[in-house]
Amino acid sequence: MNKYVGLGRIILTIALAMCLRIVPLPEALAAFNPDWVLLTLIYWSLAVPERVGIFHAWTFGLLTDVLTGRLLGQYALAYSLVIYICLKLHRRLRQFPVIQQGLFIFFCLLLSQLLLFLIKNFQHPAQLHASFWLPVFTGTVSWPLVYTVLRFVRLTGRLGRIK
């Protein structure tokens, strides 16, 4: 009954993350732009797992595919898998300090990027630049920022107080 309260807020943050994903940056910085959509989805799946789950991950993955002009479904697959792992581990992860969560986030981002790499490789032998892996590192570094901002959004919206 209370399920849809604050869903707009969640969707708004994800839409903002999608904007950040395609924001124009100088060429030197563009390779560093982390996967904001995945970071946002991870945060919400850890904070309010009863609201944001694999379905959301899959839907926003598809939208990200269209947004960035990739093969339809590759982000959907990567995001769903990562969010599945997050949902399985969310109880334990909530206890960790932010830095320790960062390590987990690193492996999540690495997994997603590895999947994207594999899918790209299946299409045609990819000759990817080493900079393909940079978003994993910058994403890990920006996790505390994402955590702080979204936590603020969650608390001001009184989201995640179950019942």
Partner 1 sequence: MDPVRTTLSFFVDPLKYLVDLPTVLVEQAADSVSSYRALKKENERLREEQLIHQTRLLKFAALEKENIRLRALLENSFKLGEQVLVAELLSINTAPYEHIVVVNKGTRFGVHPQQPVMDANGVVGQVFRSLPFTSEIMLITDPNHAIPVQVNRNGLLTIAVGSGQLNRLVLPFLPGNADIRPGDLLITSGLGGTFPQGYPVAVVDEFTSQPNKAFANITATPTAHLDRNRELMIVWSSSKPVPLISKPTANNPETRTHVDE
The binder of partner 1 chosen from 5, 12, 19, 155 (CB under 8 A) = 19
User: What is the per-residue binding string for partner 1 in 23-62, x denoting contact by CB under 8 A?
Assistant: xxx-x--xx-x----------------------------x
In the complex with partner 1, the residue whose CB is nearer, 62 or 149, is 62
> Could you give the 3-state DSSP secondary structure of residue 50?
coil
d(CA 17, CA 62): 14
Structure tokens at 125: 């032998």
Residues composing the chain: 163
Can residue 114 be called a binding residue for partner 1 (CB under 8 A)?
no
Q: What region, left, alpha or beta, does residue 34 occupy, with left being phi > 0 and alpha being psi -120 to 50 degrees? A: beta
DSSP 130: G
Token look-up 């932010």 returns: 98
In the complex with partner 1, the residue whose CB is nearer, 2 or 127, is 127
In the complex with partner 1, the residue whose CB is nearer, 79 or 104, is 79
Q: Which residues are at the interface with partner 1 (CB under 8 A)?
A: 15, 18-19, 22-25, 27, 30-31, 33, 62-63, 65-70, 72, 127-129, 131-132
